[in-house]
Amino acid sequence: MRVQGRSYRSVWLEGAVVRLIDQRLLPHQFAILDCPTSHDTAQAIVTMAVRGAGAIGAAAGFGMAQAALGAPQGSFASSIEQAARMIRSTRPTARDLFYAVECVEASIRQAPDLEAARRAAVQTAQRLADENAAAGEQIGLAGEPLLQDGANVMTQCNAGWLAFADWGSALAPIYQAQRRGKRPFVYVPETRPRGQGAKLTAWELGQEGVSHALIADTACGTFIQRGEVDCLLVGADRIAANGDVANKIGTYTLAVLADRHHVPFYVAAPRSTFDLSTPTGAAIVIEERGEEEVLWVWGRSADDTWQRVQISPAATRARNPAFDVTPAALVTAFITEAGLIPPRPDAIEAFVRRETALPSA
Amino acid sequence: MRVQGRSYRSVWLEGAVVRLIDQRLLPHQFAILDCPTSHDTAQAIVTMAVRGAGAIGAAAGFGMAQAALGAPQGSFASSIEQAARMIRSTRPTARDLFYAVECVEASIRQAPDLEAARRAAVQTAQRLADENAAAGEQIGLAGEPLLQDGANVMTQCNAGWLAFADWGSALAPIYQAQRRGKRPFVYVPETRPRGQGAKLTAWELGQEGVSHALIADTACGTFIQRGEVDCLLVGADRIAANGDVANKIGTYTLAVLADRHHVPFYVAAPRSTFDLSTPTGAAIVIEERGEEEVLWVWGRSADDTWQRVQISPAATRARNPAFDVTPAALVTAFITEAGLIPPRPDAIEAFVRRETALPSA
Please tell me whether residues B125 and B261 are part of one structural domain. Answer: no
The answer to whether the CB atoms of B191 and A218 lie below 8 A apart is yes
Under 8 Å CB-to-CB from B119, ≥6 apart: which residues? B111
Last residue of a domain, one of A137, A161, A195: A137
Measured in angstroms, the CA of A220 and the nearest CA of chain B are apart by: 8
Assess if residue B223 is contained within a domain: yes
Measured in angstroms, the CA of A353 and the nearest CA of chain B are apart by: 31
Please tell me whether residues B171 and B192 are part of one structural domain. Answer: yes
So what's the pLDDT on residue B356? Answer: 54
Q: Of these residues, B217, B237, B244, B275, which one is catalytic?
A: B237
Last residue of a domain, one of B137, B163, B184: B137
Q: Please provide residue B214's backbone torsions phi and psi, each rounded to the nearest 5 degrees.
A: -75, 135
Measured in angstroms, the CA of B74 and the nearest CA of chain A are apart by: 49
Assess if residue A122 is contained within a domain: yes
So what's the pLDDT on residue A358? Answer: 46
- pLDDT category at A93 given cuts 50, 70, 90 is confident
How many domains, chain A?
A: 2
CB contacts under 8 A, A 21-60 vs B, are 27-28
Please tell me whether residues B232 and B332 are part of one structural domain. Answer: yes
Q: How far apart are CA B300 and CA A314, in angstroms?
A: 10
Domain that holds residue A132: 2-137
Assess if residue B361 is contained within a domain: no
Please tell me whether residues B225 and B297 are part of one structural domain. Answer: yes
CATH of residue B108 = 1.20.120.420
| Nearest CB neighbour to A318, from listed B193, B215, B299 | B215
Mean pLDDT of chain B: 95
Assess if residue B358 is contained within a domain: no
The answer to whether the CB atoms of B299 and A301 lie below 8 A apart is no
Please tell me whether residues A228 and A175 are part of one structural domain. Answer: yes
> Given phi > 0 = left and psi -120 to 50 = alpha, else beta, which region is B48?
left
Assess if residue B91 is contained within a domain: yes
Would you say the C-alpha torsion A221, A226, A229, A231 has a positive or negative sign? positive
Assess if residue B39 is contained within a domain: yes
Q: How far apart are CA B255 and CA B234, in angstroms?
A: 10
Reply yes or no on whether B244 is catalytic: no
Predicted model pTM: 0.93
Closest alpha carbon to B39 in B10, B11, B18, B12: B18
Question: By CA distance, what is A311's nearest residue in B?
Answer: B299
Measured in angstroms, the CA of B175 and the nearest CA of chain A are apart by: 18
Please tell me whether residues A296 and A266 are part of one structural domain. Answer: yes
Last residue of a domain, one of A137, A155, A174: A137
So what's the pLDDT on residue A356? Answer: 54
Please tell me whether residues B118 and B149 are part of one structural domain. Answer: no
**Cross-strand bridge partners of residue A309:** A297, B301
Q: How far apart are CA A347 and CA A356, in angstroms?
A: 14
Would you say the C-alpha torsion A70, A74, A76, A81 has a positive or negative sign? negative
Does the structure show a pLDDT above 80 at B346?
A: yes
Of all residues in chain A, what percent carry a pLDDT higher than 70? 98
So what's the pLDDT on residue B355? Answer: 64
Other beta carbons within 10 Å of B32: 11
Please tell me whether residues B108 and B156 are part of one structural domain. Answer: no
Residues B172-231 pLDDT 10s: 999 999 999 999 999 999 999 999 999 999 999 999 999 999 999 999 999 999 999 999
Assess if residue A358 is contained within a domain: no
User: Quick one: A46 exposed, middle or buried, by C-beta within 10 A (0-12, 13-18, 19+)?
Assistant: middle
Question: Mean pLDDT throughout A190-208?
Answer: 96
Residues B269-303 pLDDT 10s: 999 999 999 999 999 988 899 999 999 999 999 88
Assess if residue A236 is contained within a domain: yes
Residues A287-311 pLDDT 10s: 899 999 999 999 999 888 889 999 9
CATH of residue B315 = 3.40.50.10470
**Cross-strand bridge partners of residue A268:** A335
Q: Which amino acid is at A187?
A: Y
So what's the pLDDT on residue B361? Answer: 36
- Residues of chain A contacting B317 with CB distance shorter than 8 Å: 212-214
Please tell me whether residues B131 and B162 are part of one structural domain. Answer: no
The answer to whether the CB atoms of B301 and A295 lie below 8 A apart is no
Does the structure show a pLDDT above 80 at B358?
A: no
CB contacts under 8 A, B 226-265 vs A, are 248-250, 252-253, 256-257, 260
Please tell me whether residues B177 and B265 are part of one structural domain. Answer: yes
Please tell me whether residues B153 and B17 are part of one structural domain. Answer: no
* CA distances from residue A19 to A130, A210, A310 in whole angstroms, order as listed: 15, 27, 32
Please tell me whether residues A123 and A155 are part of one structural domain. Answer: no
Of all residues in chain B, what percent carry a pLDDT higher than 90? 91
